[in-house]
Amino acid sequence: MRVMGIDPGLRACGWGVITVDGPRLRHVANGTCRPTGSDMGTRLCALHVMLTEILATHRPDAAAVEETFVNSGGQSALKLGQARGVAVLVPAQAGLTVGEYAPNTVKKAVVGVGHADKAQVAHMVKMQLPGCDPDSADAADALAIALCHAFHLQSSGRLAAAMRA
């Protein structure tokens, strides 16, 4: 089973794809979408096109997106929310149910501590996916989201059901 994780952002949207074969996890690909444009509509459209191409290339069976964490002003939260909407929309358009995880849930699943920093997350992603070299902190976060989703699918028994479907 292939699992895609997405760390939404308007300037840098990380993505990562892993395969899950029982207890074995393997890195497939990762990257960072960097949409350009002077207005919000153009950037969101570019993000949609980029994520759609990635989804078509890697054909995941499951997808997960990080929930928005708001620690700054409302304006930035609204902008991030729009990027997150695109990140949820693209896999949903492909017929995938999209898992959603809080940042602390992802960190706890991958590092073992809910308040781990980005360096700890990147280190544990590399440990759990040997040979993996995320191209950015956002890509490492996306791989962590994919790992978290894979762990949750395995523990809930949905992995077997999804593979039969």
Please give the distance of CA 67 from its chain centroid, rounded to a whole number. Answer: 10
- Hey, what's the torsion of the CAs at 49, 139, 62, 145, to 10 degrees? -140
Burial (CB < 10 A; 0-12, 13-18, 19+), residue 38, is exposed
Question: What's the distance, CA 5 to chain centroid?
Answer: 2
From the candidates 7, 21, 39, 135, which is the catalytic residue? 7
70 membership: H or E segment, kind and range: none
Is 53 a known ligand-binding residue?
no
Of the residues 21, 39, 61, 66, only one is catalytic, namely: 66
Q: Does 66 belong to an annotated binding site?
A: yes
Residue of 21, 67, 138, 141 with catalytic role: 138
Among this protein's residues, is 138 annotated catalytic?
A: yes
Q: Are 138 and 9 in contact (CB under 8 A)?
A: yes
133 labelled as ligand-binding? no
Token look-up 């706890």 returns: 108
Query: Annotated catalytic, 7?
Result: yes
* Catalytic residue check, 117: no
- Please give the positions annotated as active site: 7, 66, 138
Annotated binding site for Mg(2+): 7, 66, 138
